Amino acid sequence: MSLEAHVRVRRGEFELDCALEGSAGETLVVAGPNGAGKSTLVEALAGLLPLDDGEVVLDGEVLERSSDGTRVPARRRSVGIVFQGLWLFPQLSARENVGYGLRARGVSRREARARADALLARLELDSVGDRKPSELSGGEAQRVALARALAVEPRLLMLDEPLSALDVERRPRVRALLQATLEEFSGVRLVITHDPLEALLLADRLAILEAGRIVQVGRPDELRTRPGTPYVASLVGQNLVSGVLRADGDIARLEFAGGALVVPRGGLASGSLALARIAPTAITLATTRPESSARNAIEGRIEGLYSVGDRVRVRLATSPPLVCEITHEAVQALGLAEGGRVWASIKATEIDVYPREAIS
């Protein structure tokens, strides 16, 4: 099975114009900031929002094509969706919600009930079949919506911000169940999210949507080593600086608005537009100007400290803005606190430089 889509939709002054390809056996995650057009993309693929231009082809079947007027109604598309707002029928029980699509397709009440109960059991919801949506927890409601989407055995399964409504405590367990369910699903699977952890844990392949356009596509490790925009860099936990490379022999400087960094030349010609990736762990902090061999020493204010497992991410108001990652022990030893001033040191050899136009 496969999905091939070129979607162009206008909503007021906003325009979504992007192309996507997905295949069975992989989870394609579309990630992007709020307002990028992610939910608009879901509605367009599902047939809830007509295309202004483009086409949607699922497993060789043309679901919509603007050039010849083809448009299969949403109810006839082999698409299962878990919407961000879930959209469970409040008057129906969990079992009836799951079986609703089956009943609409002519499946008998007995068979629909049996299939719904089987799906609820698979998602660890054996005990909630008779409950109404108002009687379910957030995690239970999320899984009921997923069971309803799976019940009709779609060729395309789309999940729009599947964990956004859950509290922090419930997310890990529901995420694990979601991941296992996706791996068992035989059709094309598409997940929409703005959450970095969700994107990186669920994705076989990532498509980054910004301002209605796909700006980069690749495996998570590919995006981690070659982020193409500041948003992508932030998503995969990296720093990214864009500028013009100025080289004199083997020494190079990446000039950007507000400053410059000493960087490897990377085989680029002087005057090239370039991107510099800096891993948070490659940055060393000190409370006084460092006397190390690092070619880059930048002073700035601490904007925030965030605990991430056994490390602390420190956000710096420097030029360029940076995020570094150090141990809890280092934070205590240096006496770091929000609002304090520090020096950030970066060795030129720790900076990865590549052409800006090389990102796809």
Mean pLDDT, range 216-243, rounded to an integer: 93
Q: Which of 146, 188, 184 is CA-nearest to residue 163?
A: 146
Q: What is the pLDDT of residue 163?
A: 81
Query: Which residues belong to CATH 2.40.50.100 in the chain?
Result: 238-358
Query: Which residues belong to CATH 3.40.50.300 in the chain?
Result: 2-233
Mean pLDDT, range 32-41, rounded to an integer: 93
Per-residue pLDDT tens over the stretch 87-138: 899 999 999 999 998 998 889 999 999 999 999 998 889 899 999 999 998 8
Q: Are 273 and 357 in contact (CB under 8 A)?
A: yes
Quote the percentage of the chain above a pLDDT of 70: 98
Weakest mean pLDDT among 29-38, 208-217, 243-252: 243-252
**Residue 170 pLDDT exceeds 80:** no
Q: Please give the CATH superfamily to which domain 2-233 belongs.
A: P-loop containing nucleotide triphosphate hydrolases (3.40.50.300)
How far is Cα 102 from Cα 104, in angstroms, rounded to an integer? 5
Per-residue confidence band for 358, with pLDDT thresholds at 50, 70 and 90: low
**Fold type of domain 238-358:** OB fold (Dihydrolipoamide Acetyltransferase, E2P) (2.40.50)
Q: What is the pLDDT of residue 16?
A: 97
Q: What is the pLDDT of residue 8?
A: 97
Q: What is the mean pLDDT of the chain?
A: 91
In this structure, what DSSP letter does residue 134 have? G
Mean pLDDT, range 36-54, rounded to an integer: 95
Alpha helices, DSSP H, located in the chain: 38-46, 94-104, 109-122, 138-151, 171-184, 196-202, 220-225, 230-235, 328-334
**Residue 278 pLDDT exceeds 90:** yes
- How are beta strands 14-23 and 2-11 bridged, if at all? antiparallel
Per-residue pLDDT tens over the stretch 311-349: 999 999 999 999 999 999 999 999 999 999 999 999 999
